[in-house]
Amino acid sequence: MALAMVLIACSSSFAQIKNVVLVHGAFADGSGWKGVYSILVKKGYRVVVLQEPMTSLEDDVKNLRHELDRLDGPCILVGHSYGGAVITEGGYHPKVAGLVYVAAFQPDKGESDLTLFQSAPVLPENAILPPDDAGVVYIDRARYHTSFCADIPKEQADLMADSQGQFAGKAFATPITDPAWRHLPSYACIATEDKMINPVIQHRIYERSKSKVTEIKGSHCIFMSQPQAVAAWIIKAATEIPAGK
């Protein structure tokens, strides 16, 4: 009987994770995850698409942790772009078993997204504008498609440009206090044609964290243009990372 109980405990610890939380980045919203969401749901995953207020990193982390508290079991936590900072700061949580970074920032303690962004040349296509008088940052609408998501249809990119929301520039400069990737296994997708986060930065930070990495040919928005490849990497994390602590 004792041996049976041990075997049951071991098997439950390594059960496949069935919850996934998707965190969008700046200049977009959760609707961009539609393709990945649909694939994961059809595979039997319970998927939560977070909608951050983007008023500050602290507010976005508070928003994330509220959703994590509501989960009925362990999850894989996925972040795109600025969402990588959100999952890095807020992802060390009892419900999070592992992290997936999708063309995302992955700051260390004391670093911010801005620290990393300035650590390599800014690519000429990058069209982030300086903060306005309210401290809000946008991408230049006229260059949004080329800068942010060159491999999706222009009509779709135009809609995104006109609904990019108000991203508080201070969130980009807020340093991380306790990076979740130093406590949890992490996976990462590098966007090889990224014009927002120089791929040089992506390679360096994911090597530093010893994340399991895949390269996906595409723009900063590979989660939209290559949803099958991104979903496959999330599923890989969900099947390889133990559900139990």
pLDDT digit string (tens) for 4-30? 333 333 444 456 899 999 999 999 999
Which domains are seen in the chain, by residue range?
18-176+186-240 (3.40.50.1820)
Provide the sign of the torsion angle of the four alpha carbons 150, 210, 54, 116, taken in this order. negative
For 1-5, 30-34, 36-40, 99-103, which range has the lowest pLDDT when averaged over its residues? Answer: 1-5
Contacts of 233 (CB under 8 A, 6+ apart): 100, 187, 189, 214
**CA 105/CA 107 separation, integer angstroms:** 6
The structure tokens listed for 229 are: 């490849």
In this prediction, residues 206-219 reach a mean pLDDT of: 98
Check pLDDT > 50 for residue 128.
yes
Q: Which residues of 83-108 are buried (b: 16+ CB within 10 A; e: fewer)?
A: bbbbbbbbbbbebbbbbbbbbbbbbb
Query: Does residue 1 have a pLDDT over 70?
Result: no
Give me the residues paired with residue 191 across strands: 216
CA–CA distance, 125 with 113 (Å, rounded to integer): 19
Kindly state the tokens that stand for 220.
């900063």
- Band of pLDDT at residue 223, cut at 50, 70 and 90: very high
Q: What is the pLDDT of residue 32?
A: 96
pLDDT at 16: 82
For the chain, how big is the Rg over CA atoms in Å?
18
Q: What is the pLDDT of residue 15?
A: 64
> Stretch 151-159: mean pLDDT, rounded?
96
Going across the sheet that includes 186-191, the strands are 46-50, 19-23, 75-80, 96-102, 186-191, 212-216
The per-residue pLDDT for range 43-87, each reduced to its tens digit, is: 999 999 999 999 999 999 999 999 999 999 999 999 999 999 999
Where is 98: in which H helix or E strand?
strand 96-102
Q: Across residues 190-202, what is the average pLDDT?
A: 97
Q: Taking residues 147-159, report their average pLDDT.
A: 96
Q: Count CB-CB contacts under 10 A for residue 151.
A: 17
Mean pLDDT confidence for 191-200: 97
How do residues 92-124 score in pLDDT, each as one tens digit? 999 999 999 999 999 999 999 999 999 999 999
Asked whether the predicted pLDDT for residue 245 surpasses 80, the reply is no
Crossing angle of helices 227-240 and 34-42, rounded to 10°: 50
Mean pLDDT within 197-218: 98
What's the whole-model pTM score? 0.93
Percent of the chain whose predicted confidence (pLDDT) is above 90: 92
